[in-house]
Structure 1
């Protein structure tokens, strides 16, 4: 397929076939498709939706490849603004966080003492994931939440190589700004009252200077993640610009650009949650019709052969201690870890103005999303 990029609003003219390389890398974000003019034999508007998104997916991959840039030092605000514009993942080296040198088991245990913390618990290591219920239907299931002290969490994650404690898998992943929230900037003293991890706040920057300056605002949430090799984050995308730093262990990311949304087969699933029965055993309890259905990918293991179409090429990234990943808004990610892993992330609200957000939603399919369960007809 041939295409040529044409100038609009003063943009320089670039013509010729699409070869997989671009002389203007700043056009590699979603807006690149605004500058592509197809030859008459490839009328984009005459395609059905499925053909259109396949074309976009292949075109994006040809232009950008399947590698991730690595930079040796944190960017300036201007450099990071350019990375946001390109909207591709980047591994950043040299971003200093005090926790990197401090957070041993002994330090965390001593600092946290007897403070109770909220920990997600599931029977399979999949919190916020699609799971079959006792009635045979598929549900989007949230974890049970137990209270425990840091010492017990760490010892349980380390001592059992399979990650199971009494047949259960634990993962600290509350995702609610468990370190800092947007309120932290309005009422700084509220952190010590609100956060379960108040003794550790001094070891984590509340915001990232070059990121806040580039985006023009402070983070919406800063989160702490602690888990082991049995914890899995199912594939999903977030409405945030995400800065993700590994403190200990290794994180393994499978990444897909927004243009590959079509292959993740989003469906609507009824909501459920793990709770404990009278004996303390976990059970899956459907939430009922009062709770809205959840839109989620039906691809549960994208890393397995055959889970994705042959022409889709995921980007595989492993983060080591001290590595930081910039994960742009809308990028799909499936995450595993090796052994005990501790990580931090800063979620910054995405810019909703302009075309990028509209395009991201279009790529997720504006057509009605089907149910994840096939209903049997009434007899």
Structure 2
């Protein structure tokens, strides 16, 4: 084991409260996971002071129903799973509703006439998951970090495609990630046109206890819509993330920043899915710098993580909000027809938190993901491109 790996694993052990017998601080072995695989649950929203303490501790927290009633307006029935009007119902309805009921939101959603920017990637037969924004093996055997193909369409078209994904060879996901509801332009008092302008009256631009606790406005507010075929590969972000599930559910696999060493980050050439004929083809981007990304395609596969690493497994259902601290690694799956909103707040660059995260990411050299010795053969089920699908138009 090289010195960089030793340092990284020492940080991980200290975080989890695991001390080896050779430690200079003690002469016995301690295995008491101080930070553990548990998650704290709030039945009501934190105050601004409580939230600032949570940010200081840097631990995720699940906030249940009453919390999101504080985020939105009158949501007493917002998260009922009995939908009077299904998501993919067609036609025009004339109904009288209280502010911010699920039916009203879905009706507004269906009637959004703007042109949306949607991401899509090819599906796989086994497993049938989109591999966009992830490491994928090309037909020549080389691994690439591949971004999704982008297309513009109306909301009605997106919802129609999501409803028949079992028949399609492409996976659609609304995931523009650039503040598609509110961007930083809005918070700077500048013009901020949005394809979801009609939804803004129902989506607050800020979370009061979060903005007050951090002393700042969000950097971006995003709307996410997708099916169970959309899987987010494991990664971390420099944001304090407030993530609310509106409909469906999201399953998170969470790891603290100190456990990043076990995700075996590598440098991969950049690629993008491009439409070719009637299919999608992985196209290299020779003018784009290599991308640093985890080589562990699915941390939930048994044996993919070291035995001493215990990720937090958490399902966030409709009506619940996850506070995901900056720097935490997360792999995300979702149920069908899932709708979510999130508020990204820039993490504080002053003080030690940013320095610690930068140190953890900067320890040791990051090898190429295409060095033969570094290729994890067990990942091939997740990484292999299916030529019969993605190149069917060639």
Instruction: State the TM bucket, normalised to the shorter chain.
Output: 0.7 to 0.9
Query: What residue is the counterpart of 1:262 in the other structure?
Result: 261
Distance 1:187 1:325 in 2: 28
Q: TM-score, normalised by structure 1?
A: 0.81
SS in 1 for 2:337: strand
Query: Quick one: distance in 2 between partners of 1:228 and 1:207?
Result: 27
CA distance in 2, matches of 1:185, 1:366: 35
> Is residue 252 of structure 2 the alignment partner of residue 281 of structure 1?
no
> Which position in structure 2 is the counterpart of 1:174?
176
Relative to 1, partners in 2 of residues 1:59 and 1:109: Cα closer, same or farther, differing over 3 Å? closer
CA distance in 1, matches of 2:178, 2:166: 25
Contact 2:110 2:155 in 1 (8 A): no
Deviation at residue 196 of structure 1 after TM alignment: 1.0
Q: Is the 8 A contact 1:257 1:330 kept in 2?
A: yes
Query: Aligned residue for 1:241?
Result: 240
Aligned equivalents of 1:247, 1:356: Cα separation in 2:
31
Deviation digits for residues 49-92 of structure 1 (CA, Å, limit 9, x no counterpart):
32232222122122211100000111111110000001000001
The whole-number CA distance in structure 1 between the counterparts of 2:57 and 2:348 is: 14
CA contact (8 A) 1:250 1:318 kept: yes
Which of 303, 308, 312 is equivalent to 1:311?
Answer: 308
Inter-partner Cα distance in structure 2 for 1:186 and 1:48 = 45
Please state whether the residue corresponding to 2:336 is helix, strand or coil. strand
Match of 1:112?
Answer: 112
Work out which of the residue numbers 55, 64, 69 in structure 1 matches 2:35. Answer: 64
Q: Which residue of 2 aligns with 1:140?
A: 145
Is 2:245–2:319's contact at 8 Å kept on the other side of the alignment?
A: yes
1:152 pairs with one of 144, 157, 179: 157
What count of residue pairs does the alignment treat as equivalent? 321
Deviation at 1:48, TM superposition (A): 2.6
Give me the whole-angstrom Cα distance separating, in 2, the residues matched to 1:316 and 1:283: 34
Shift of 1:106: 5.2
Q: Unmatched 5+ residue regions in structure 2?
A: 17-32, 79-99, 124-129, 374-394
Task: Tell me whether 1:75 sits opposite 2:39 in the alignment.
Answer: no
- What is the Cα-based RMSD across aligned positions, in Å? 1.8
State the secondary structure of the residue aligned to 1:50: helix
Please give the per-residue CA displacement for 1:132-154, whole angstroms capped at 9, x wherever unaligned.
Answer: 12321100100001111112212
Mapped to 2, the partners of 1:149 and 1:352 lie a distance apart of 39
Among 284, 290, 294, the residue aligned to 1:293: 290
Instruction: Determine the C-alpha separation between the residues in 2 that align with 1:117 and 1:48.
Output: 48
Q: TM-score, normalised by structure 2?
A: 0.78
For the residues of structure 1 that align with 2:330 and 2:239, how far apart are their CA atoms? 13
Query: CA shift at 1:102, angstroms?
Result: 3.6
Structure 1 stretches (4+) deviating beyond 3 angstroms? 98-106, 108-111
Query: 2: CA distance between counterparts of 1:110 and 1:53?
Result: 48
Give the secondary-structure state (helix, strand or coil) at the position aligned to 1:180. Answer: coil
Q: 1:18 aligns to what?
A: none
Deviation (angstroms), 1:370: 0.6
* Residue 24 (structure 1) aligns with: none
Task: Give the deviation of 1:297 after TM superposition.
Answer: 0.4
Q: Specify the SS of the correspondent of 1:213.
A: helix
Q: Counterpart of 1:41?
A: none
SS in 1 for 2:254: strand
**Structure 1 position 365, deviation (Å):** 3.8
Other structure's SS at 1:63 match: coil
**Residues 264-304 of structure 1 deviation map (CA, whole Å, 9 limit, x = unaligned):** 00011111101111x2321110000x211110000001011
2:268 matched to 1:230? no
Residue range with higher mean Cα deviation, 227-236 or 177-186: 177-186
Q: Which moved more, 1:363-372 or 1:325-334?
A: 363-372
**1:87 paired to 2:58:** yes
What residue is the counterpart of 1:329 in the other structure? Answer: 326
Q: Is the 2:119–2:150 contact (alpha carbons within 8 Å) kept by the matching residues of 1?
A: yes
* Aligned-pair CA distance for 1:315: 0.2
